[in-house]
């Protein structure tokens, strides 16, 4: 179980962050569900460094949320897994019940998409924020309340919010409460699953800025799951593009968005609205993601890809680095044809 210490400035630091481990390290993750012909997650590799923001992007159904939830071992019924998922160096998939409880209360936390679905409308905000650390005897009631007030102030709210009920808060205020709640145990890893989708544009910008500030202040690794590429570009240090349960492309955010090397990433960017682009009909990605009830022989994006050849339909591509950018990789037979290209097919 992690211990927590307070610096003179009031900043909290996890003991887990004193060891040379990534906040999250996923290697070779495969997940199968009943009645599917192929894995819903197929060989996922993903890393979030301490104090780093990583975006995980892709269409609905690509496996983004499933991937993020494995960090807390929140698995669908009947799921079987292969590979490793390590949070602050600890193997999540091998944890017993006691270790898993410690992980979820102290080492990793998640901010969900809809804040109102995550709280009991009949209980006060103070109860929501302090219950987990009190019941697990991580803090005394007095210390838990003091920590809750500290975090409410950190997210721009006042101590009187502790006495309010969820129905008395706006959506933006409640999402700030969710973020404060996620930080109560001083986690090494914060998982944010589409945390701004239910908010208006102004509040969305405020929450995104808040997450960036808290990440820098507390040194927490942040995995930001989103389908919004503009948001991913604004908030992330690195980005993973996911399609059909596989990582299609990954690299520094600036490199991936300026020089996409996978046709899927390029198609997503081309279909994103932009004030700088000529007015007219947005580009669309023809076709549908592959059916989980069918096996895949080659590249899963091949039926929708403008660059596909016969090879793409029969042989799964390997991950290849970009020339001069080893940290920027794409899982595509023809990634060299896309280097430096954006907006032209």
Q: Contacts for 155-164 with beta carbons within 8 Å, 24 or more apart?
A: 155/179, 155/180, 155/210, 155/214, 156/206, 156/210, 161/125, 162/124, 162/125, 162/126, 162/129, 163/124, 163/125, 163/126, 164/124, 164/125
Contact (Cβ atoms closer than 8 angstroms) between residue 229 and residue 56? no
Does residue 251 form part of some domain? yes
pLDDT tens by residue, 50-104: 999 999 999 989 999 999 999 999 999 999 999 999 999 999 999 999 999 999 9
pLDDT of residue 105: 87
252 belongs to a structural domain: yes
pLDDT at 16 over 60: no
| 138 domain-assigned | no
The radius of gyration of the chain's CA atoms, rounded to the nearest angstrom, is: 21
Confirm whether 36 is domain-assigned. yes
Give pLDDT, residue 275.
Answer: 64
Is 134 a domain residue?
no
**pLDDT of 104-134, one tens digit each?**
988 999 998 888 888 899 999 999 999 988 8
- pLDDT tens digits along 131-150: 988 888 788 999 999 999 99
Domain range for 41: 22-117+188-345
User: Which pLDDT score is estimated for 20?
Assistant: 54
Could you tell me how many residues make up the chain? 345
pLDDT level of residue 196 (50, 70, 90 thresholds): confident
324: left (phi over 0), alpha (psi -120 to 50) or beta: left
pLDDT at 10 over 90: no
CATH at residue 321 = 3.40.50.300
Over residues 266-280, the pLDDT tens digits come to 999 988 876 665 666
Domain annotation covers residue 141? no
Choice among 8-17, 33-42, 154-163 with the minimum mean pLDDT: 8-17
Q: Could you give the number of structural domains in the chain?
A: 1
Answer yes or no: is pLDDT of 167 > 90. Answer: yes
Q: What is the mean pLDDT of the chain?
A: 86
Looking at the domain assignment, is residue 174 inside a domain? no
Q: Does residue 78 lie within any of the structural domains?
A: yes
């Amino acid at each position: 179980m992690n211990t927590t210490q307070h610096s003179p400035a009031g900043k909290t630091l996890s003991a887990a962050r004193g060891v040379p481990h990534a906040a999250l390290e996923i290697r070779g993750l495969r997940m199968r569900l009943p009645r599917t012909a192929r894995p819903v997650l197929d060989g996922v590799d993903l890393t979030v460094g301490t104090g780093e923001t990583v975006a995980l992007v892709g269409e609905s159904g690509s496996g983004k949320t499933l991937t993020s939830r494995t960090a807390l071992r929140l698995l669908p019924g009947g799921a079987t897994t292969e590979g490793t998922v390590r949070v602050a160096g600890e193997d999540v998939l091998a944890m017993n019940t006691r270790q898993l409880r410690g992980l979820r209360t102290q080492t990793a936390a998640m901010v969900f998409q809809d804040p109102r679905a995550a709280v009991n409308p009949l209980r006060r905000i103070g109860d929501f924020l302090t219950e987990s650390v009190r019941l697990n005897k991580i803090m005394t009631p007095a210390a838990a309340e003091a920590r809750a007030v500290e975090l409410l102030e950190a997210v721009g709210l006042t101590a009187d919010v502790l006495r309010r009920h969820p129905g008395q808060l706006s959506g933006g205020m409640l999402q700030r409460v969710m973020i404060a709640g996620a930080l109560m145990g001083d986690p090494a890893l914060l998982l944010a699953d589409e945390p701004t989708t239910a908010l208006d544009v102004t509040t969305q910008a405020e929450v995104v800025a808040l997450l960036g500030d808290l990440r820098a202040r507390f040194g927490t690794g942040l995995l930001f799951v989103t389908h919004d590429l503009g948001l991913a570009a604004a908030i992330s240090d690195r980005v993973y593009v996911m399609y059909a349960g596989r990582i299609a492309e990954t690299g520094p955010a600036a490199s991936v968005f300026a020089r996409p090397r996978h046709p899927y990433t390029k198609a997503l960017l081309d279909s994103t609205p932009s004030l700088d682009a000529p007015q007219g009909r947005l580009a669309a990605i023809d076709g549908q993601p592959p059916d989980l009830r069918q096996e895949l022989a080659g590249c899963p994006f091949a039926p929708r890809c403008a660059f596909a050849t016969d090879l793409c339909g029969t042989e799964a591509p390997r991950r290849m680095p970009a020339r001069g950018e080893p940290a920027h990789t794409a899982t595509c037979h023809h990634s060299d044809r896309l280097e430096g290209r954006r907006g032209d097919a």
